[in-house]
């Protein structure tokens, strides 16, 4: 019996004239996600996508991988059989044996897209119901709240017997919304923010600011491991590691202590934006949430935003830590995030950071760098030129 995966698209259905390009993107993403298990054919017909392994493939693993592809509302595995009742009925009992054995009640749901099929849907239901009751006499029919719904679909190419549907990842196919560049730290929030924006159809690049020797190689590896997890949903992520030590030291040496964090964050934004633009990204993404720490008050966010010329997307802005953690657990980044390696943001933290910095005063304070004859632009250029890029793959 040939086993395939049937896919119900999510929000895709709402996309009118763009629908075709959304379906093409989804189809490409499914093929990429399944590729490590072997090649699959994806085709779309009558608002369902069919994923057929072309060679032997572990269908459990293909299903698991496809369940992480954004743009899918629900998926179910299905047996593909010839379109005649002599084939369909025994196949139902064989394919759904475990489910039929463990249920007490069932109903049959038949869909007949091929109107030339000799039996109408209610007739298919009756025939299948009788056949099943005969083979599994412990069962009874319950059309309102059955333990098991046996779905039989008659389509143009074949008949399909469905396993129970599972929930898809939702969202929109990655790549349909353009590219954004995530500011990724080793913390809990920014991997979650990355995942949330990939879910809205964005392809991801990432920048991480590293300040060796204050931050270690292990902190960089941690960021890589986090992105490997996110990439299981988003696909490959281009990671840029920016050498930030010189800038941080200059800020520490010349700027007022209580503004170190906000000034540093403004430089992070400026540099991230240059890299993002080179990488074809139209927005930055950060894991900030209002009120979480001193640099995430509205005043502080106003100061960082003012350093940016592109939108800064903050998908976790209104979420509690608990809500963020529950997503981090779901996407399997939490255990990595809580490893105790330092981040450049925690290197020169002031004892009493300003929680309500005033933009004009921050800009004024930044002038201290120029007064000290630090060539700020040359410093930014060195950071950008010293950035090392790599591609992080799902793992
Ligand atoms: P997270 O859990 O994401 O680290 P956080 O609560 O620790 O967040 P901050 O350290 O203030 O908060 O960082 C806020 C945001 O700034 C992060 O979510 C991330 O987007 C960005 N950020 C922080 N550190 C770095 C870094 N070293 N490189 C790139 N971006 C960073
Ligand atoms: Mg952090």
List CB contacts of 162: < 8 A, sequence separation 6 or more.
6, 76, 77, 78, 150, 151, 152, 153
CA distances from 74 to 111, 238, 342, 395 (A): 17, 29, 40, 23
Last residue of a domain, one of 124, 140, 169: 169
Q: Are residues 147 and 196 in the same domain?
A: no
CA distances from 277 to 176, 205, 282 (A): 18, 11, 7
Q: Are residues 271 and 327 in the same domain?
A: yes
List CB contacts of 115: < 8 A, sequence separation 6 or more.
none
349 versus 304: which is more confidently predicted? 304
The DSSP letter of residue 326 is: H
List CB contacts of 380: < 8 A, sequence separation 6 or more.
247, 267, 270, 271, 274
For the chain, the farthest-separated pair of C-alpha atoms sits apart, in whole angstroms, at 90
Confirm whether 174 is domain-assigned.
no
Q: Are residues 208 and 271 in the same domain?
A: yes
Taking the CA of residue 292 as reference, the ligand 1 atom at the shortest distance is 6
CA angle 223, 195, 345 (to 5 degrees): 40
Q: What is the CATH number for 156?
A: 3.30.2130.30
| CB neighbour class for 67 (10 Å; exposed up to 12, middle 13-18, buried from 19) | middle
Q: How far is the CA of 184 from the centre of ligand 1 (A)?
A: 6
Whether 288 is in the pocket of ligand 1, judged by its Cβ within 6 Å, is yes
Q: How far is the CA of 395 from the centre of ligand 2 (A)?
A: 22
Last residue of a domain, one of 112, 144, 169: 169
CA distances from 319 to 123, 202, 316, 325 (A): 51, 20, 5, 10
DSSP helix/strand/coil, 304: helix
pLDDT above 80 (res 10): no
Whether 185 is in the pocket of ligand 1, judged by its Cβ within 6 Å, is yes
- The whole-angstrom separation of Cα 67 and Cα 84 is 31
Confirm whether 290 is domain-assigned.
yes
Confirm whether 125 is domain-assigned.
yes
Q: Are residues 101 and 51 in the same domain?
A: yes
Nearest partner of 344 among 283, 260, 273, 237, judged by Cα? 260
Whether 287 is in the pocket of ligand 1, judged by its Cβ within 6 Å, is yes
Domain of residue 348: give its range: 179-392
Confirm whether 206 is domain-assigned.
yes
Q: State the alpha helices, DSSP H only, in the chain.
A: 19-34, 59-66, 85-95, 97-102, 121-135, 189-199, 217-234, 245-254, 260-278, 298-306, 321-330, 334-337, 359-371, 376-385
Whether 349 is in the pocket of ligand 1, judged by its Cβ within 6 Å, is no
Whether 189 is in the pocket of ligand 1, judged by its Cβ within 6 Å, is yes
| CB neighbour class for 115 (10 Å; exposed up to 12, middle 13-18, buried from 19) | exposed
Whether 292 is in the pocket of ligand 1, judged by its Cβ within 6 Å, is yes
Q: How far is the CA of 341 from the centre of ligand 2 (A)?
A: 10
Last residue of a domain, one of 146, 169, 192: 169
Q: What is the CATH number for 314?
A: 3.40.50.620
Confirm whether 280 is domain-assigned.
yes
Q: Which ligand is nearest to the CA of 209?
A: 1
Confirm whether 254 is domain-assigned.
yes
Pairing between β-strand 388-392 and β-strand 237-243 as defined by DSSP bridges: antiparallel
Q: Report pLDDT digits (tens) over 176-185.
A: 999 999 999 9
CA distances from 228 to 113, 184, 208, 244, 293 (A): 41, 12, 14, 23, 27
Residue pair 202/138 in contact (Cβ under 8 Å)? The answer is no
Q: How far is the CA of 344 from the centre of ligand 2 (A)?
A: 9
Q: Are residues 157 and 235 in the same domain?
A: no
Q: Are residues 70 and 160 in the same domain?
A: yes
Q: Are residues 142 and 162 in the same domain?
A: yes
The pLDDT mean for the chain works out to 94
Q: Are residues 36 and 115 in the same domain?
A: yes
Taking the CA of residue 188 as reference, the ligand 1 atom at the shortest distance is 2
pLDDT above 60 (res 267): yes
pLDDT of res. 14: 60
Radius of gyration in angstroms for the set of CA atoms belonging to the chain, rounded to a whole number: 27
Count of domains for the chain: 2
CA distances from 331 to 130, 193, 230, 393 (A): 44, 11, 7, 15
Confirm whether 316 is domain-assigned.
yes
- The whole-angstrom separation of Cα 60 and Cα 77 is 9
User: How sure is the predictor about 373, in pLDDT bands with cuts at 50, 70 and 90?
Assistant: confident
Q: How far is the CA of 395 from the centre of ligand 1 (A)?
A: 23
Q: Are residues 156 and 203 in the same domain?
A: no
Q: For ligand 1, atom 31, which residue shows the shortest CA distance?
A: 185
- The whole-angstrom separation of Cα 182 and Cα 386 is 19
Taking the CA of residue 207 as reference, the ligand 1 atom at the shortest distance is 29
Q: Are residues 18 and 159 in the same domain?
A: yes
User: How sure is the predictor about 45, in pLDDT bands with cuts at 50, 70 and 90?
Assistant: confident
User: How sure is the predictor about 33, in pLDDT bands with cuts at 50, 70 and 90?
Assistant: very high
Q: Are residues 75 and 189 in the same domain?
A: no
Q: How far is the CA of 187 from the centre of ligand 1 (A)?
A: 6
Q: For ligand 1, atom 4, which residue shows the shortest CA distance?
A: 187
Residue pair 231/394 in contact (Cβ under 8 Å)? The answer is yes
Nearest partner of 199 among 387, 378, 29, 40, judged by Cα? 29
The residues that bridge with 238 in the sheet, in sequence order, are 205, 391
Neighbours of 364 (CB within 10 A): 12
Taking the CA of residue 296 as reference, the ligand 1 atom at the shortest distance is 11
pTM for the structure as a whole = 0.94
Average pLDDT over every residue of 374-391 = 95
- The whole-angstrom separation of Cα 249 and Cα 15 is 50
Pocket test of ligand 1: the residue of 182, 184, 188, 190 to mutate, having most ligand atoms within 8 Å of its CB, is: 190
Q: Report pLDDT digits (tens) over 331-356.
A: 999 999 999 888 877 788 888 888 88
Q: How far is the CA of 376 from the centre of ligand 2 (A)?
A: 26
DSSP helix/strand/coil, 230: helix
Taking the CA of residue 210 as reference, the ligand 1 atom at the shortest distance is 27
Confirm whether 279 is domain-assigned.
yes
Whether 4 is in the pocket of ligand 1, judged by its Cβ within 6 Å, is no
pLDDT above 70 (res 12): no
DSSP helix/strand/coil, 9: strand
Nearest partner of 186 among 287, 268, 317, judged by Cα? 287
User: How sure is the predictor about 273, in pLDDT bands with cuts at 50, 70 and 90?
Assistant: very high
Whether 184 is in the pocket of ligand 1, judged by its Cβ within 6 Å, is yes
Pocket test of ligand 1: the residue of 181, 183, 275, 297 to mutate, having most ligand atoms within 8 Å of its CB, is: 183
pLDDT above 70 (res 127): yes
Average pLDDT over every residue of 240-248 = 97
Q: Are residues 11 and 72 in the same domain?
A: yes
């Amino acid at each position: 019996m040939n086993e395939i995966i049937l896919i119900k698209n999510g929000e895709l259905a709402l996309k009118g004239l763009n629908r075709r390009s959304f379906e093409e993107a989804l189809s490409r993403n499914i093929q990429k996600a399944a590729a490590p298990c072997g090649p699959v054919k994806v085709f779309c017909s009558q608002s369902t996508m069919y994923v057929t392994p072309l060679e032997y493939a572990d269908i459990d693993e293909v299903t698991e991988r496809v369940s992480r592809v954004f743009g899918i509302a629900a998926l179910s595995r299905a047996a593909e059989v010839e379109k005649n009742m002599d084939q369909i009925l025994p196949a139902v009992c064989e394919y759904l044996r475990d489910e039929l054995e463990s249920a007490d009640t069932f109903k049959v749901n038949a869909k007949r897209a091929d109107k030339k099929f000799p039996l109408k849907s209610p007739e298919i239901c009756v025939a299948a119901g009788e056949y099943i009751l005969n083979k599994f006499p412990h069962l009874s029919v319950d059309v309102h709240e059955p333990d098991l719904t046996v779905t039989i679909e008659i389509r143009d190419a074949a008949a399909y017997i469905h396993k129970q549907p599972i929930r898809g990842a939702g969202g929109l196919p990655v790549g349909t919304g353009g590219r954004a560049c995530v500011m990724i730290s080793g913390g809990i929030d920014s991997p979650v923010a990355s995942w949330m924006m990939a879910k809205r159809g964005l392809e991801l690049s990432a920048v991480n600011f590293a300040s060796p020797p204050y931050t270690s190689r292990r902190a960089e590896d941690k960021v890589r491991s986090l992105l490997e997890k996110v990439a299981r949903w988003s696909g490959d992520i281009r990671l840029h590691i920016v050498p930030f030590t010189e800038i941080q030291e200059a800020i520490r040496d010349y700027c007022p202590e209580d503004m170190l964090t906000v000034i540093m964050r403004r430089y992070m934004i400026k540099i991230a934006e240059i890299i993002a633009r080179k990488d074809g990204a139209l927005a930055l993404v950060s894991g900030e949430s209002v009120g979480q720490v001193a640099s995430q008050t509205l005043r502080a966010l106003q100061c960082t935003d003012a350093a940016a010329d592109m939108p800064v997307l903050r998908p976790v802005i209104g979420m509690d830590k608990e809500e963020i953690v529950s997503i981090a657990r779901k996407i399997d980044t939490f255990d990595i995030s809580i490893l105790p390696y330092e981040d450049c943001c925690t290197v020169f933290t002031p004892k009493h950071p300003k929680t309500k910095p005033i933009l004009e005063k921050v800009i004024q304070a930044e002038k201290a760098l120029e007064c000290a004859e630090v060539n700020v632009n040359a410093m930014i250029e060195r950071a950008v030129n010293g950035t090392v890029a790599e591609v992080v793959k799902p793992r």
